[in-house]
Amino acid sequence: MAQLWGGRFTKETDRLAYQFNASINFDKRFFAQDIEGSIAHAAMLKEQGILTEEEKEAITEGLTGIRRDVEEGRLVITEEYEDIHSFVEANLIDRIGDAGKKLHTGRSRNDQVALDMRLYVRQELLEIDGCLKDLLETLITLMEENLDTYMPGFTHMQKAQPTTLAHHLGAYFEMFKRDRLRMKDIYARMNYCPLGAGALAGTTYPLDRSITASLLGFAGPTLNSMDSVSDRDYLIEFLSALSTVMMHLSRFSEEIITWNSNEYRFVEIDDAYSTGSSIMPQKKNPDIAELTRGKTGRVYGALVSILTTMKGIPLAYNKDMQEDKELTFDAIDTVKNCLILFNGMVKTMRFNKAVMEKSAVNGFTNATDAADYLVGKGVPFRDAHGIIGRLVLYCIEKNTSIDSLSLEELKNVSPVFEEDIFDAVSLKTCVEKRLTLGAPGMEAMKEVIRVNREYLKEEWHS
């Protein structure tokens, strides 16, 4: 058992206890971050006169070699080591001798793992932000292509008013745009370096924490050493943001599953993102959407788990905090995979525009506009509401739509109706006259797309 402690112990740790305590099986994931932090720490120690130039160079060369050998498969991270820190340090000492024993000067595994986790999460956050941006690019392209693709808008899962596919997709664009804003906010708050905090109370060595922070791309060092080693707020925020991403994907997935059903037939999912049945040859199942919807609970579970873990922990570091890693790693992997696959599914999905438009017509989505037409003719709105309600009931009994009625039939319900009613309740008219910013009208949507195209040109990180 390769471990970084033992002098005060008189016998070895029980094998089962050692395995229960060890984290190497999961924290090996950030071996590159551990080495990156160690190289920066060595450079700072040299600047402060704690290491010689020769020692710093030997350490840097040794660490670089370990990283290269792991990446190229010549060096395997095994369960012989308690954690990634002991793996790196033991292999460094084997390679360069006593100089390697000086690397840990002025730091603890407490601030070391706090650094590794921040470096890892920071990079993964940027990758997820990139996945979100890719999805936004797909959505805005579909919006541009479907400005006049008419469909029903829903409330309470009931057809309510006519809208366009561009407008509907635009709602999800805003959701995922907010998700990116959350990533930006989290990055800014977490981007401070805990290295140099030591176990909890700093160190007596003359470290310059600003040097390390700068070398690692942080905005600066953290300002309280106890908080530095015990802070997991950024993980809670990150998992909360990931849960919101998954909630948005799940809502979208639910609609795609509904639209893909035989009853709706609004969309056809590409074969590459569908599966079949082992017994029913006619089936084409929306499994990617269903799995995305299902995996949302998995990410929620990670958030609840870390909140529960952290709720009763006193300052400063406690071993409970080791539980932050596996659930965070799993949530990150889940969200990235869902975003990538969901984007591919949406990008290749075919929309049945004629079916969508017919559904809007047959669903009386123009009923509100018919009432507004009567108001424009001088009928009080409450009376107009009742007239159109009776008209809808008549259409239901006749299995027809408002558009399909004759003028005579309309006049039998209200003599106020004239020939211009047919233009007033056409889907095109109903949609196009809604021109307030954020509405589905053509010009309003073009302005929104213009604003969002400009937004997508911006980068909040380099």
Give catalytic residue positions.
Answer: 156, 277
Cα-based distances in Å from 49 to 24, 42, 92, 106: 33, 11, 21, 13
Written in H, E and C, the secondary structure of 411-437 is HHHCCCCCCCHHHHCCHHHHHHCCCCC
H or E, element range at 13: none
Our CA dihedral for 283, 284, 289, 294, rounded to 10 degrees, sits at 30
Report how far apart, in Å, the C-alpha atoms of 244 and of each of 20, 202, 203, 260, 304 are: 33, 36, 40, 24, 13
CB atoms within 10 A of CB 79: 13
The residue type at 103: L
Tokens 């309280």 found at: 224
Q: 350-351 and 267-268: which strand pairing?
A: antiparallel
Q: Is 160 helix (H, G, I), strand (E, B) or coil?
A: strand
Residue 397: which residues within 8 A CB-CB, separation 6 or more?
none
Phi-psi region of 438 (alpha: psi -120 to 50; beta: other; left: phi over 0): left
Give the HSE-up count for residue 139: Cα atoms under 13 Å, Cβ half-sphere: 27
Q: Strand (E) positions, 199-325?
A: 267-268
> Whole-angstrom distance between the N-terminal and C-terminal Cα of the chain?
42
Q: Strand ranges (DSSP E) for 327-436? A: 350-351
d(CA 84, CA 27): 6
Beta bridge partners of 163: 151
Which residues are CB-contacts of 217 (< 8 A; sequence separation ≥ 6)?
A: 191
